[in-house]
Amino acid sequence: MPKVLIVDDEPHIRYLLELTIEELEADGVLLLTADNGETALEIIQAEKPEIVFLDVMMPKMSGFDVCNAVKSSPDLSDTYIVLLTAKGQEFDKQKGQDVGADIYMTKPFNPDDVLNKAREVLGL
């Protein structure tokens, strides 16, 4: 069963992402959520989702740190990570690339872009 993890400390952003991606549940996709980086890393290690939509600024562990930990782990390095952030400066994008993010999306994001990226990565 393909898995998608949504990670954001803002409940309304998590909810918007869930609403955006929930139509993939009809294709057998399991949606997982986390509200901080530490929990996200635990879920990634246990569940091995194919794609993670990961906020950058979060409590306990930043999205940059989570991404770096995942991409540095041989068992998890093929996890597709989409960093989502309100920070759109070039410095932040470069830092996202440096920690291994597959793509960097700035908020506010287009829900269609999120859904299309999930479909592409999951091969749906």
- pTM (two decimals): 0.94
The answer to the question of residue 17 being in a domain is yes
The answer to the question of residue 71 being in a domain is yes
Range of the domain at 20: 3-117
CATH of the domain at 34: 3.40.50.2300
Cβ neighbours for 21, distance < 8 A, ≥ 6 positions apart: 4, 6, 29, 31, 53, 114, 115, 118
Contact call for residues 12 and 40 (beta carbons, < 8 A): no
Q: What confidence tens digit (pLDDT) does each residue in 32-70 have?
A: 999 999 999 999 999 999 999 999 999 999 999 999 999
Query: Which is more confident, 107 or 89?
Result: 107
Which pLDDT score is estimated for 89? 72
Query: Which is more confident, 89 or 108?
Result: 108
The answer to the question of residue 59 being in a domain is yes
The answer to the question of residue 123 being in a domain is no
The answer to the question of residue 33 being in a domain is yes
- The number of folded domains in the chain is 1
The answer to the question of residue 30 being in a domain is yes
The answer to the question of residue 31 being in a domain is yes
